[in-house]
Amino acid sequence: MRLGVIGIAPVLFVTGFFLALRYADNGPDLLAVWVVGAAATGVLYPLAVRAPRRLLVQLSLAMASIPAICLPLTLAIEPQTLLSMTSSFAILPVAVPLFIGWSRNLRTGWLVAYAGAVTSLVMLTGFGHLDLTQRADVAVDMAIGCLIGWCGGALLERPRLRAIESELELRRLNRVLSGHAMTDPLTDLLNRRRLETDLGLLAVSLRQVEAPCAVLILDVDRFKQVNDELGHAAGDAALQAIAAELKRVVRGRDTVYRYGGEEFVVILPGAEVEAASSVAERIRLAVEGLRIRTRPGDTEATLTISGGVAVSEPPHASWDAALRVADFALYEAKTAGRNRICSATTERMEAAIASTTNGGAAIATRPWRHNPDRTLQLEDGPQPV
């Protein structure tokens, strides 16, 4: 479209210049018609640069109409111009679709309408100077010109369509590659890289509404035993089955990620610790109900899952702290006997953030013990992080 504006305006100006030289008696009038046409086409350029895609067809029709209007005005001023310049002058508006690269339907409709209108005007009026033979010559020139324009447009459309198809295929492949980069190939869950991206965006939206966000870390119990005794293929099948249950249980805004190995993370925006613990318990029961064997021939030994829950409060300054707290809760669930969910409130996230940078290693090694009210405590006193 932009190239069409740049290319057509000089053509219109040059046309008016040569017509003025050849027909000196009406030269000023002819030059004025085509200079105005060139100027009108030039005005369309800034519009074409800023216009959205949905308006390009309307702008291109306006551009094609400019030389189509200049042509009958030129014939009215000097009827001999069309006969002397034959079809090359008659098909000047026909070249507009070639500059712009219209689609077949639009190009066909324009050429048929243009040829029909100008031919009818010439045949009926003759502009007061053309006899019947001359009118027939103009009609033939017009038909030939439109046919040439249609064929030329069809030839130019093929490489344009191939370029569009190539661009669409490239975009599709980029979307596929982007999806693969953010998706775990085994479980078809979002991966850890996508988790890091989503948490950054989630913090912004949650701060705006002053909402909490629960973080749930799940770990499959005794998963190494499955790989050792049943083989890695059985382990992969178990992870796929667990991932399917996670996607079935977790709904709405909540999102499941494969964190690595046999670990999964669930992000629950807007959830408090009670609601998150309820979701975690449903997940635990769903996995337990799968009855996945952990030893050959032993139907009693089935795969279970443990989980840790933490809640990040606004302004969500450190997701690392929330994940670390959830990981501590998971460790408590493991040491308390597995196949259970432990939770930890995060009302004092500042302490967890400070420990991440100033004493995280020391705090991580301090013993944690389970509390009946489902919170975590340090051995030397309560520490709701």
- Please report, for the chain, the start and end positions of each structural domain, with discontinuous segments joined by +: 2-175, 192-382
Buried b / exposed e over 1-32, threshold 16 CB at 10 Å, is: beebbeebbebbbebbbebbeebeebbebbbe
CATH (residue range 192-382): 3.30.70.270
Q: Tokens for 102?
A: 């219209």
Please tell me what DSSP assigns to residue 221: T
Contact 379, 343 (CB under 8 A): no
pLDDT tens sequence for the chain (385 residues) = 555 555 667 777 877 888 888 888 888 998 898 889 888 877 877 776 677 767 766 777 777 777 778 877 887 888 777 655 444 444 555 555 555 556 778 778 877 887 788 778 778 877 667 778 877 877 777 777 677 667 766 666 677 667 777 777 878 777 777 666 788 889 989 999 889 888 888 888 888 888 888 999 999 998 988 888 888 898 999 999 999 999 999 988 899 999 988 999 999 998 888 999 999 999 999 999 988 877 777 666 688 999 999 988 887 777 888 888 899 899 989 999 999 999 875 444 445 445 555 544 433 433 333 333 433 333 333 333 3
pTM of the model: 0.52
Q: What positions carry a catalytic annotation?
A: 262
Please tell me what DSSP assigns to residue 217: E
Q: What is the dihedral of CA 188, 291, 260, 283, to 10 degrees?
A: 80
